[in-house]
Amino acid sequence: MKVRVFFHDKCFDGACSAALFARFYRERIRDGAEFVFTGLAHRAGALFDESKFDGEENAIVDFKYSTSPKVTWWFDHHQSAFLTPADQEHFEQQPSNYKFFDPDYKSCTKFIATIAQQRFGFDPGPVAEVIEWADMIDGAQFPDARTAVELKEPAMKLAMVIEASRDPLFSARLIPLLVNQPLAKTVAEPFIAELLPPLLERHQKSIGLLKERTESREGTVFFDVSDQDLDGYNKFIPYYLHPESVYSVGLSKSSFRAKVSVGSNPWANTANMVNLAAICERYGGGGHARVGAISFGPEQLDQARAAAREIVEELRASARG
């Protein structure tokens, strides 16, 4: 039996969610299934290709909702999980016991683990390490900025490789390992270890570049790296460089999108934080209350830059009261 699992691509939580779902499915639903993993990216326009829902069962994890009748499983924790109010109504009225949503969870991996344990009797104990790190990374629950940026832990190195890899076969090789062996052993696998030296060098260069490009005023950092090949930079670098900041807004560009990333400093003790998902939704994006993003077409860089500047001004105005 073929089960196709769609997941948030270039995302540690997305990969861990896909891995955990597959392990849970084998242990508690049907042993012997063949899993095919397909990454999904937020972009301008349609997010789903109906023809790709070709499994006997199709699952979507850590990504937006699809009304397709071919989708049998769905787990998500993003505040902006629904593209339209009609999609949300469809979810609320559908009779399935295999589709779950809770925006209060920091990571989709932890959400899947909890539902699988409570509803299906799955034992998350053997995969506690990957659940813990997915929750820490996706929920930005690091003890400090150094842990997030200096990348000393195996999970942090894996997250960097996942975000940077452009090999379409990489995720299919990696995902099964995440829930079947320690992360330290996974990061030492030759096909991963050989990628680390150039990526770590690139990471250090990105820290230097952002140090040059960041503009920090009134609690908000802004930077434009759309002229650089830097779509997968570490999102905690702005707070590492500017610990006084509360928010960051970054503009980047890749072959398939211009992206505005909006985040908040996990270590800032600020009351009445602005809901960043609500801001991003106004421009067609979304995310969580503390972090969000907006995708424009690659030819819409000027629109993306204008949106970024508007958001920067809104966040700085919030600091002025």
Here the CATH number for the domain that contains residue 227 is 3.10.310.30
167 and 47, same structural domain?
yes
pLDDT digits (tens, 9 = 90+) for 81-120: 998 999 999 999 987 899 999 999 999 999 999 999 999 9
pLDDT band at 221 (very low <50, low <70, confident <90, very high): very high
Here the CATH number for the domain that contains residue 187 is 3.90.1640
DSSP secondary structure, 175-224, as one string: HHHHTTS-HHHHHTSHHHHTTHHHHHHHHHHHHHHHHHH-EEETTEEEEE
Residue 45 has pLDDT above 90, yes or no: no
Asked if the structure places residue 199 within a domain, the reply is no
β-bridge pairing 247-253 and 258-264? antiparallel
169 and 98, same structural domain?
yes
299 and 177, same structural domain?
no
State mean pLDDT over 42-46.
67
pLDDT band at 160 (very low <50, low <70, confident <90, very high): very high
State mean pLDDT over 286-292.
91
Asked if the structure places residue 207 within a domain, the reply is no
State mean pLDDT over 60-75.
96
pLDDT band at 169 (very low <50, low <70, confident <90, very high): confident
pTM: 0.84
State mean pLDDT over 165-193.
95
Asked if the structure places residue 31 within a domain, the reply is yes
Asked if the structure places residue 141 within a domain, the reply is yes
pLDDT band at 46 (very low <50, low <70, confident <90, very high): low
pLDDT at 44: 63
pLDDT at 270: 84
Asked if the structure places residue 159 within a domain, the reply is yes
294 and 250, same structural domain?
yes
287 and 141, same structural domain?
no
- How many structural domains is the chain composed of? 2
pLDDT band at 25 (very low <50, low <70, confident <90, very high): very high
pLDDT at 166: 85
Residue 10 has pLDDT above 70, yes or no: yes
- What whole-number distance in Å separates Cα of residue 186 and Cα of residue 116? 24
User: Of 47 and 119, which is predicted with more confidence?
Assistant: 119
